[in-house]
């Protein structure tokens, strides 16, 4: 398997499920602040703001909270965060707030690029 960037892997995953993808989005929030998201995936009335955190370290709760606040401020419906690994606190917060967290391993598995999840 080639070494594909996490951003392109994420776009490939959503495109394979019939979503139209937009890249590098900037929104002015209700607060007057600008918020950026890596991708926006649209299919029908369904819309997902996607933040790709391409770090080698674990993504913690503070990153998830800030992304959640930015999504709410920009009045976007659903937040998806993609990273290599999430902390237990980040996962608990996302479950409570209905934020989808996806790992690189999960994307590879769902795209059929690995047989182990």
Write the CATH number for 19. 3.40.1350.10
Give the model's pLDDT for residue 116.
66
For 40-56, the DSSP string reads EEEETTEEEEEEEE--S
Query: What is the model's pLDDT at position 2?
Result: 47
Question: Which residues span the domain enclosing 23?
Answer: 13-110
Structurally, the chain folds into a number of domains equal to 1
pTM score: 0.92
Is 65 inside a domain boundary?
Answer: yes
Q: What is the pLDDT of residues 58-74, one digit of tens each?
A: 999 999 999 999 999 99
Please report whether residue 62 resides in a domain. yes
pLDDT at 4 over 80: no
The secondary structure of the chain as a DSSP string is -----HHHHHHHHHHHTT-EEEEEEEEE-TTS-EEEEEEEEEETTEEEEEEEE--SSPB-HHHHHHHHHHHHHTT-SEEEEEES-B-HHHHHHHHHHT-EEEEHHHHHHHTTS-S--
**7 located within any domain:** no
């Amino acid at each position: 398997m080639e070494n594909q960037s996490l951003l392109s892997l994420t776009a490939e995953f959503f495109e394979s499920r019939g979503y139209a993808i937009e890249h590098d989005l900037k929104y002015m929030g209700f607060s007057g602040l600008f918020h950026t998201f890596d991708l926006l995936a649209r299919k029908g009335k369904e819309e997902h703001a996607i933040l790709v955190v391409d770090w080698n370290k674990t993504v913690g709760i503070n990153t998830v909270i800030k992304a959640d606040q930015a999504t709410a401020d920009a009045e976007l419906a659903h937040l998806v965060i993609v990273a290599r690994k999430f902390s237990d606190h980040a996962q608990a917060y996302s479950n409570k707030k209905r934020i989808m967290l996806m790992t690189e391993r999960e994307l590879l598995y769902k795209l059929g690029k690995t047989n182990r999840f």
